Structure 1
Amino acid sequence: MRRAFLLLSLFLMLPGCAFVNVPLIPPPSPLAEQVLEGDGAKKILLLDISGTISEEEKSGGLLGRSSPSLVSVVRESLHKAEQDRDVAGVILRINSPGGTVTASDIIRHDINMFKKRKKVPVLACIVGTGASGGYYVATAADEITAHPTAITGSIGVILMKFNVEGLMGKIGVEEQTVKSGDKKDIMSPFRKATPEEVKLGQEIIDQLYGRFLDVIMERPGNSLTRDELRKVADGRVYTASQALEAKLIDRIGYLDDVIAEIRTAAGDGKARVVSYYRPGSYKGSIYAGAAEKAGLAEALSGWDAFGASSFMYLWRP
């Protein structure tokens, strides 16, 4: 130890010595591929839709690098798969309570565009939770399978806000807003919403809810009429067996069953199941990371209690 210290001191005293600047945070790397199972010629991409669905990057903490949003990762993954001739199918492994309306809609749109260009089967497997925006994304798949213990449904829209007017008054803080019109601070947390403002918010929610119903009606496996759908789309969640009875999913099974189905369709019983990752996020099996679940802080990403409220396709138990 003492010898090493002396050598370091001598090195620092040498004239003209160069200092190497080693970055604490490594630069971002493109997605790499890893094989999870199988040794066949063709590939099946296992694409995760996990945690809260958001357009926002995830913070890396004090010294960490922020990671791309789920919207960004899904688009990058689909682009990589589209360029790979060996990819014979995609499985959306879903474990998400949903998220923002826009993020959910972008991901669903990107999956549909991928299907049109690549023309390979895309199947969804809800392993834990596929509620609200998680189910919204699943409607892009050719078929929806849910694990026997999965929870799905929660079809609807929610707009959340705090009203801290009373608290502010108790601590002697007064908020003052100068605005160009009486609706400019609509849904402000610093005052109670007027009946007219609630009505305006409800009108937007009704339109976004109608779009949710539209995408379910358009899903490849749908057999519900719109009236039948409205009866089950009241915001409640369903077990896998209840969802199957309600015709919201196509079957109950496991991720292995979905893999076997694509292998059969691809004509390769040993097709490789692959995933994409960045250095430091290696996964060793098809279930690695499957238990990821958003905490309350992540579930509220995209929603600022003291700023603008967001319309969400989100289940908040």
Structure 2
Amino acid sequence: MRKAVSAIVWMVLATSLAGCAFVNVPLVPPPQPLEEQVLEGKGRKKILMLDISGTISELEKSGGLLGRATPSMVSMIRESLQKAEQDKDLAGVILRINSPGGTVTASDIIHHDIGVFRQRTHLPVKACIMSTGASGGYYIAAAADEIVAHPTAIVGSIGVIMMKFNVEGLMGKIGIEEQTVKSGDKKDIMSPFRRATPEEVRLGQEIIDQLYGRFLEVIMARPGNKLSRDELVKLADGRIYTARQALEARLIDRTGYLDDVIADLKTTIGDQDARVVSYYRPGNYKGSIYAGSEAKEGLAEVFGGGVDLLSNSRFMYLWRP
């Protein structure tokens, strides 16, 4: 009897499998569109909280062996602004900044996108610097109508830096020799396998000076700027400032907490019970206005990660203590 039952079970399984199509279920689900999450408030109007957190980069962050890659900060901000522009209930935006800066291009793209958003929507945009708003982080803050910094925030580091490694001595010690065939003597400029020549340093400095000039122009053009160019140049030597020092230097408009910025924006839009919202991808829950951001590119990701860290010299709006 037991053998007969077993035979019937196997026949049923065989028949079922013969008529089934196998479904390919990916181990890592594809990224989902951004969704809105209410952090506080119940009013009709909305205030969007946008995170500028971590090192600013146009490169996506690797998800490892089984995880999925995280979109770059540039991509995340562009997608968020496009979604926000379609929301008729949106009444204002807060840039929650906690960043030492990052690449020149990523900082500039985000600054540009925020400026375009302001022009198209005519909505108020305020920047709130939390712990750090240095270099590229401050560059992005300059796109806002007003810059507010927490009393304990670090602000400034206005300038440009390019870093490179010189591993020539190390390679000689372990018996490795690098040989490059090139079309011109500047083709391998800033190579990590030799010391830079004085002319290469001069050429690099010329580029840095132009990018530095652009940084100054961005600050001069910010809505709340009260500095002359000469006054700004004296402040923009790469140093960092406390929030109080930055206020006295007129690099920021005032000091305060994130709650203060939210309250002021609610008054501006005329809705004291306005909803404070953020955007997230399914699986990335945020429980309050102080919840962490989704993507935090590290310095290794900015340079390309891994071994590429030795072979990439990039121009940075970055404070790197």
TM-score normalized with structure 1 length:
0.93
In 1, Cα distance between the equivalents of 2:63 and 2:88? 34
Partner SS for 2:309: coil
Q: Tell me by how many angstroms 1:109 deviates.
A: 0.2
Query: In the alignment, what sits opposite 1:106?
Result: 109
1:297 to 291, 295, 300: 300
Deviations 1:178-231 (A, max 9, x none): 111101100000010000100000010000001001100000111111111111
Alignment of 1:170-209 (within 5 A): 170-209=173-212
The answer on 1:155 being equivalent to 2:153 is no
Q: Tell me by how many angstroms 1:282 deviates.
A: 1.1
Mark the CA change 1:233 to 1:246 in structure 2 (over 3 Å): closer, same or farther: same
Alignment of 1:27-42 (within 5 A): 27-42=30-45
Deviations 1:49-83 (A, max 9, x none): 01111110111110111111100010010011111
List gaps (5 residues or longer) in structure 2: 1-5
Q: Tell me by how many angstroms 1:155 deviates.
A: 0.4
Q: Tell me by how many angstroms 1:262 deviates.
A: 1.1
Q: Tell me by how many angstroms 1:263 deviates.
A: 0.6
Mark the CA change 1:111 to 1:302 in structure 2 (over 3 Å): closer, same or farther: farther
Partner SS for 2:310: coil
Query: In the alignment, what sits opposite 1:20?
Result: 23
1:128–1:291 contact (8 Å) kept in structure 2 = no
Query: In the alignment, what sits opposite 2:316?
Result: 312
1:95–1:126 contact (8 Å) kept in structure 2 = yes
List gaps (5 residues or longer) in structure 1: 1-5
Alignment of 1:1-317 (within 5 A): 13-14=14-15, 15-16=17-18, 17-289=20-292, 295-298=298-301, 300-301=303-304, 304-317=308-321
The code of the aligned residue for 2:317 comes to Y
Instruction: Percent identity, please.
Output: 76
The code of the aligned residue for 1:47 comes to L
2:72–2:295 contact (8 Å) kept in structure 1 = no
Mark the CA change 1:151 to 1:71 in structure 2 (over 3 Å): closer, same or farther: same
Partner SS for 1:93: strand
Number of residue-to-residue matches in the alignment: 310
Partner SS for 2:151: coil
Partner SS for 1:65: coil
Q: Tell me by how many angstroms 1:289 deviates.
A: 0.6
In 2, Cα distance between the equivalents of 1:163 and 1:127? 36
Once superposed, what is the RMSD of the aligned Cα atoms?
1.9
Mark the CA change 1:268 to 1:35 in structure 2 (over 3 Å): closer, same or farther: same
The code of the aligned residue for 1:76 comes to E
TM-score normalized with structure 2 length:
0.92
